[in-house]
Amino acid sequence: MKRLVLVALLAGTLTACDKAADESNEPEAITADIPPSETSTVGTYQVTLADGTKGTSTLTEDGRYVDRFSGQTEEGNWAEVDGKTCFDPDEGDTATRCYVLGETAADGTFVATPDEGDPVTVRKLS
User: Model confidence over 4-52: pLDDT tens digits?
Assistant: 333 333 334 334 444 444 444 544 433 333 333 344 689 999 999 999 9
User: Model confidence over 45-91: pLDDT tens digits?
Assistant: 999 999 999 999 999 999 999 999 999 999 999 999 999 999 999 98
Neighbouring C-beta atoms of residue 42, cutoff 10 Å: 16
Claim: this prediction has a pTM higher than 0.85: no
Q: What are the residues whose beta carbons fall under 8 Å from the beta carbon of 60, sequence distance 6 or more?
A: 42
* pLDDT for residue 26: 45
Distance in angstroms (rounded) separating the CA atoms of residues 122 and 113: 10
53: exposed, middle or buried (Cβ count in 10 Å: 0-12, 13-18, 19+): exposed
* pLDDT for residue 41: 82
Cβ 60 vs Cβ 42: under 8 Å? yes
In the chain, the domains with their CATH numbers are 43-124 (2.40.128.640)
